[in-house]
């Protein structure tokens, strides 16, 4: 095993680190670029180089397919990653810069009536790292243009409406990124496990949600759905940490232990969700999450590629620049 680790480290040194150095060189080129078109070309090149760090694209490796079983995914595995944790953190730092650039571009287009926007759905068992992903992936993003919402049990007001009512109220505006920590999928999984809704009612929601997401995509919203696969052992470590750290007491809820006791039922329910709702419009990505540095790097890659694929340009000036300059000079 030691020899294998040494060989892996050698490959990492000659490939991952070298590629990340090339990326940093291109970052300097972006800063020196004299025209918008040249700058955008280098931004795209940086994204391309970042993607080449992966042995195989996460979008290919981790996309749910018909013969995938979430119950058989190794939560500690690192599909597609040939480096170590320090490499992943270096990758994240650079990728976050690119994400911030694409976010500004998306927001600018939104102010000019572009319908382009992005919805990220984060799901996973308690303590799987959903909150940490938001903090790390968007570490260099602009709060103006990012909307985060965590879904809990429906309020009394929300219970008076259709289950998608509260979801539609939190969708991203034009040019914005919306992040759902839990989502409309809770309205299938919870009734599935606890029987709070008649079976024919919650089963009908598969088709309703597929249509809902299809309509979103058709209207210009990219939907990125991610499930973080953690182990019971890793969850236990994080729960104990919350009980031992006064600054994390607020995170602990006894109901989390009730869900833990029904772990297998949750996995069965989620497997059916993936089988019924991973579509061409909005596929699911199943991400091993015991190594949080890995899952954060994966989400950063998926997000950056999704934004790059929007192929956005900076909006043109819609006024007479010379006239505006004359008015300013005469002010």
Contact residues for 108 (Cβ-Cβ < 8 A; gap 6+): 175, 314, 315
Q: Each residue's pLDDT tens digit in the chain (331 positions)?
A: 333 333 444 444 468 888 888 888 878 778 788 788 888 888 888 899 999 999 999 999 999 999 999 999 999 999 999 999 999 999 999 999 999 999 999 999 999 999 999 999 999 999 999 989 988 888 778 888 999 999 998 999 999 999 999 999 999 999 999 999 999 999 999 999 999 999 999 999 999 999 999 999 999 999 999 999 999 999 999 999 999 999 998 988 888 899 999 999 999 999 999 999 999 999 999 999 999 999 999 999 999 999 999 999 999 998 999 999 999 999 8
What does the block give as tokens for 181? 């920590």
Which of 135, 242, 226, 222 is CA-nearest to residue 180? 226
Class of domain 56-315: alpha beta
- Reported pTM: 0.92
CA quadruple 253, 258, 261, 264: dihedral, nearest 10: -100
Using the structure block, give the residue that is written with the tokens 């059916």: 272
- Residue 8, CB-side half-sphere exposure with 13 Å CA sphere: 13
């Amino acid at each position: 095993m030691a020899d294998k680790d040494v060989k892996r480290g050698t490959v990492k040194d000659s490939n991952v680190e070298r590629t990340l150095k090339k990326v940093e060189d291109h970052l300097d080129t972006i800063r020196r670029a004299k025209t918008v078109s040249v700058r955008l070309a280098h931004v795209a090149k940086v994204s391309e180089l970042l993607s080449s760090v992966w042995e195989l694209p996460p979008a290919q490796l981790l996309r749910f397919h018909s013969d995938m079983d979430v119950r058989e995914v190794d939560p500690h595995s690192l599909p597609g990653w040939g480096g170590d944790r320090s490499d992943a953190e270096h990758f994240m730092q650079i990728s976050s810069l690119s994400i911030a650039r694409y976010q500004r571009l998306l927001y600018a287009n939104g102010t000019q009536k572009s319908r382009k926007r992005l919805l990220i759905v984060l799901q996973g068992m308690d303590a799987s790292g959903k909150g940490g992903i938001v903090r790390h992936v968007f570490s260099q993003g602009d709060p103006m243009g990012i909307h985060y919402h965590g879904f809990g049990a429906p309020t009394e007001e929300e219970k008076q409406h259709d289950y998608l009512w509260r979801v539609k109220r939190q969708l991203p505006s034009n040019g914005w990124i919306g992040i759902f920590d839990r989502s409309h999928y809770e309205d299938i999984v919870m009734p599935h496990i606890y029987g709070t809704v008649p079976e024919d009612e919650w089963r009908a929601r598969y088709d309703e949600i597929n249509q809902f997401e299809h309509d979103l995509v058709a209207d210009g919203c990219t939907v990125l759905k991610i499930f973080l696969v953690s182990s019971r052992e890793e969850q236990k470590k994080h729960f104990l940490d919350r009980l031992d750290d006064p600054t994390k007491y607020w995170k602990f809820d006894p109901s989390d232990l009730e869900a833990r006791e029904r772990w297998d039922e949750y996995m069965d329910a989620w497997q059916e969700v993936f089988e019924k709702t991973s579509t061409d419009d909005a596929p699911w990505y199943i991400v091993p999450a015991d190594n949080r540095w890995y899952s954060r790097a994966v989400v950063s890659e998926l997000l950056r590629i999704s934004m790059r694929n929007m192929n956005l340009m900076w909006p043109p000036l819609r006024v007479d620049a010379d006239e505006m300059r004359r008015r300013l000079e005469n002010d």
